[in-house]
Amino acid sequence: MPKFPRRTALAVAALTVPLLFSPIAQAAPLWHPNPATDGLKAFEGIEADRGNHHPDRKYVVVEGDHYRFNIWKDDRDTTGGGDRQRTESKGMVQGGSTLKMHDGETWTLSYEMYIPGTLHGTSKFTHIFQTKTPSTNGGPWVTLDLTRSGSKEMLNARAYANSGSPSIAATDLAPLRNKWITIEWTFTPGSKGKASCVLRNGTGSGAPIAAQGSMSNVNIPDQGDYVRPKWGIYRSVESASSDILDTYLLFRNYTASRK
C-alpha cells in the first residue's frame, strides 16, 4: 500500500469513514391525512346542509388525492336567518384522536388549495378557512377570506376577531385561481396570541411567495377549551348575486405539527 504524507492520509481517511452526524430530521407531522384511506374520518365532522334541504347533494367528497367541497347558490345554513351558506369540515383527527390547539402552544398548519374561477371574492364575508373555539362557539378568530372591493378581488389572511379585522397577509386573487397553491399558517393561541401566514403561488415550500406576514396580539383564545380549524366555504349570500354561484373548493396535502 502506498504511503501518504500524514495530512493526505487524514484526508483520505475522512473520505472513507462513514458520516457520524446527519442533519436533524424534522418531526413527523401530527396530522397528515390521506384522503384515499382516511376519507372524512380525517375531520371531527362536516357542516353542510344542516337543515337537510338537499339530501341528494354530495357536499364533501374524496376525489383521488384531494377533498372536494361543493356548494350551490341556493344552499342556506341553519344560522343567520337564511343570509348565509356553509360547506365546511371541522377539526383534525389522526388515528381516531382529535388534535387540539391550546393557549401558549405553537402550531404549524399547511395545505394545498385549488380555487376555481367560479368561486368569487365578495363584498360580504366569504371565509375559506377559519378558527373557532368549540365549547363557546367563539370566533371566528383568524380567517382566510375571499374579499372584493369594486372589481378588485383579494385572498386575505386576517386577524378577524381583532378590531378592524386587519390583514396578516393579502394578495390579488386572480393569479392564484385555477391552480394548486400552498397555504402555510403558524399559530400561538391566546387572547394575545400570534399568527403568521405565507401564501404561495404554487405547490410546496419552494413555490414563489405571493404574500406573507405575521402579527402579535392576535385574539385567538382557547377559552378553556381548544382552538379548532375549519376548511371549506362559509359565505354571506347578501353579496352581489353575480358572486354567489354554484362552485367548489379543493384541498390536499394537509399537515399539522406542534413545536
Q: Is the pLDDT of residue 19 over 60?
A: no
Q: Is the pLDDT of residue 23 over 50?
A: no
Mapped onto helix, strand or coil, the DSSP state of residue 69 is: strand
Strand partners, 164: none
pLDDT tens for residues 59-116?
Answer: 999 999 999 999 999 999 999 999 999 999 999 999 999 999 999 999 999 999 999 9
DSSP letter string, 168-237: EEEEESGGGBTSEEEEEEEEE-EEEEEEEEEEESSSSTTSPEEEEEEEEEEEE--TTS-BEEEEEEEEES
Q: For Cα atoms 118, 130, 147, give the angle at the middle one, nearest 5 degrees.
A: 40
- Domain range annotation of the chain: 42-258
Give the whole-angstrom CA distance, residue 203 versus residue 200: 7
Q: Is the pLDDT of residue 237 over 90?
A: yes
Q: Is the pLDDT of residue 175 over 50?
A: yes
ω into residue 208 within 30 of 0, thus cis? no
Strand partners, 182: 112, 200
Contact 237, 85 (CB under 8 A): yes
Confidence of residue 3 (pLDDT cuts 50, 70, 90): very low
Give the whole-angstrom CA distance, residue 217 versus residue 189: 10
Fold of 42-258: Jelly Rolls (2.60.120)
